[in-house]
Amino acid sequence: MTRSVVTGAAGFVGSHLAEKLLELGHVVIGIDNLSTGKAENMEAFVNDPGFIFYEADIRDRDSMEQILDTHSPIECFFHLAAVVSVPFSVQHPEITHETNYKSTIRLLSRSRKAGAGAFVHAGSAAEYGNESRLPIKEEYASDETEHLSPYGRTKYLASREVARSSNPCGVSLRCFNIYGPRQDPTSQYSGVISRFIEQALKGIPLTVFGDGEQTRDFIFVEDVIHAYLLSAGINPANGKKSPPKRGIYNVGRSESITINRLADIIKSIIDPELPVAHLEPRPGDIRHSLADISKTVRTFGWKPSWDMKEGLKKTIEWYRENPETL
């Protein structure tokens, strides 16, 4: 059976990825220090006989060595664990650099010794800084890019090094604004969608920073999972394998939507009468963001399949079924 490692397996995206790999028949070695990930995100599959979980920190070299020695050989290494809070990265740049960059490089090297054919890294749209050219192409991020935080800078440095690796085949996915079930609306760095849904289900005004005409490119988590699998050479429909595709790739819908329009759609699903409260703009917020996904579509044969409204309905349904998360 194929062995895959998923770091950040208790996180929002990592838990969905681990669950899908198990459905495809993989043995999944999940790693998470539970600093931001939640054990309840793994409830649906934690007792699956193919799932092996380690509560461990990716910065702990001895723990990582022991885990990979125990489970070698592995075929696919999906690296999603990271410092993901921009404010935390500003306050703790050294920890962010150690976690997001240095630990990634060590794991890339160690996965080679474990026999991995693919190393897929969770990049970020933050690697582009305050990019004004739209839609944003992969080559727009460079060593000269003025990143807005240590988070964005360390993600860029890690993506650059991962994409240079041919053994294992290095892939970095720069995902734009991901949303879906299991996203934590109470988190300090939660996305606007989970925050709006929480407010709407509680019957309180939806809070919009600034005029609400800023635009974002939102992508449903299931589409993101398919991109992860295809980048590693795994067919998400049947698990069949093909060679992974080295490089850096954008993952988004390549469609922009204003925050005002997003609020209107969520209101239409939950309660059209809910008011919207406009707050002062947040310093440093990017005005517009839109992914160019042509390289990803061309290379993987991937394209997003979830319509925005249908993805929001699915997400809202999950929150209604799991009110304890609000």
pLDDT at residue 9 is higher than 90? yes
Domains of the chain, first to last: 3-180+219-253+288-306 (3.40.50.720)
198-209 mean pLDDT: 97
Task: Determine the Cα–Cα distance for residues 33 and 10; give it in Å rounded to an integer.
Answer: 9
Instruction: Enter the tokens of residue 83.
Output: 């410092």
The CA distance from 50 to 1, in Å, is 10
Closest CA to 19 of 201, 222, 156: 222
Q: What pLDDT does residue 89 have?
A: 94
Q: Encode pLDDT of 68-111 as tens digits.
A: 999 999 999 999 999 999 989 999 999 999 999 999 999 999 99
pLDDT tens sequence across 263-314: 999 999 999 999 999 999 987 788 999 999 999 999 999 999 999 999 999 9
Residue 321, Cβ density class (10 Å: 0-12 exposed, 13-18 middle, ≥19 buried): exposed
- Work out the percent of the chain whose per-residue pLDDT is above 90: 94
Please give the mean pLDDT across all residues of the chain: 96
Q: What is the pLDDT of residue 189?
A: 63
Spatial CA neighbour of 165 closest among 226, 211, 118: 118
* Per-residue pLDDT reduced to its tens digit, 169-197: 999 999 999 999 999 988 766 789 999 99
21 residue type, one letter: L
- Cβ atoms of 7 and 36 closer than 8 Å: no
Active site residue 151: yes
The reported pLDDT for the residue numbered 188 is 63
pTM of the model: 0.97
Among the listed residues 54, 101, 151, 179, the single catalytic one is 151
Cβ distance 315 to 262 under 8 Å? no
